[in-house]
């Protein structure tokens, strides 16, 4: 029992910090660079993203193990996973608008962006590829979500500070954001070897 719990914890830490999706697996970069300009949007995105991440990891695990494997249609996993994510995002969009317009006003805009994020499709694919069980899939999903949120928040705070900086003109905007990411990624290599997966 303790061992299993440790494994879940290791998966979570590995997914969020050591193999952080943005800094070492280079996924979700589009949104990472897109919405990290302002702190407020970054936080809104982080919350929405983590929630969607965990739920879609769970949904796709269930579908993968109870529908796709018995029917032997695992070769259709790309189509089915993106379908699940898109359907879930669409559904929560509709439900949120009806049930909690306030929350929708705050987070709804990010929902639309999410279904084209690479991480959201990568996590179910990796879960399927690594043969994680249900809890492992969940903790991998949660770790990925938190890791992305962490990256986004750090980046947003740095970019707000950079607004004031006298960056050489060709490097303003995107280029300096990429170079910042490079340097953060370099700092994150300090975690390497922390957990072997």
Does the footprint of other proteins cover residue 1 (CB under 8 A)?
A: no
> Token pair of 152, please?
């986004």
Does the footprint of other proteins cover residue 157 (CB under 8 A)?
A: yes
Q: Which is nearer to other proteins, 102 or 193 (CB)?
A: 193
Among 11, 121, 142, 152, binds other proteins (CB under 8 A): 121
Binding residues for other proteins restricted to 30-49, rule: CB under 8 A: 30-31, 33-35, 37, 39
Burial of 196 (0-12, 13-18, 19+ CB in 10 A): exposed
Does the footprint of other proteins cover residue 194 (CB under 8 A)?
A: yes
Stretch that binds other proteins, among 19-27, 43-51, 100-108, 139-147 (CB under 8 A): 19-27
Residue reference for tokens 């790309």: 78
Q: What is the DSSP string of 120-172?
A: HHHHHHHHHHHT--HHHHHHHHHHHHHHHHHHHHHHHHHHHHHTTS---GGGT
Stretch that binds other proteins, among 54-62, 101-109, 140-148, 157-165 (CB under 8 A): 157-165
Among 58, 93, 116, 135, binds other proteins (CB under 8 A): 116
């Amino acid at each position: 029992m303790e061992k299993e719990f440790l494994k879940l914890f290791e998966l979570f830490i590995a997914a969020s910090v050591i193999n952080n999706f943005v800094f070492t697996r280079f996924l979700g970069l589009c949104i990472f660079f897109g919405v990290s300009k302002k702190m407020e949007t970054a936080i809104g995105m982080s919350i929405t993203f983590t929630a969607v991440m965990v739920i879609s990891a769970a949904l796709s695990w269930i579908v993968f193990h109870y529908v796709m494997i018995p029917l032997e249609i695992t070769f259709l996993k790309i189509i089915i996973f993106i379908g699940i994510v898109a359907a879930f995002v669409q559904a929560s969009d509709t439900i949120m608008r009806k049930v909690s317009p306030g929350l929708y006003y705050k987070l709804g805009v990010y929902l639309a962006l999410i279904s084209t994020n690479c991480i959201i499709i990568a996590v179910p694919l990796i879960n399927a590829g690594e043969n994680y069980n249900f809890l492992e899939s969940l903790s991998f999903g949660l770790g990925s979500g938190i890791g992305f949120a962490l990256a986004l928040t750090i980046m947003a705070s740095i970019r707000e500070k950079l607004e004031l900086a006298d960056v050489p003109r060709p490097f303003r905007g995107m280029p300096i954001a990429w170079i910042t990411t490079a340097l953060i990624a370099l700092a994150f290599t300090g975690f390497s070897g922390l957990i072997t997966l």
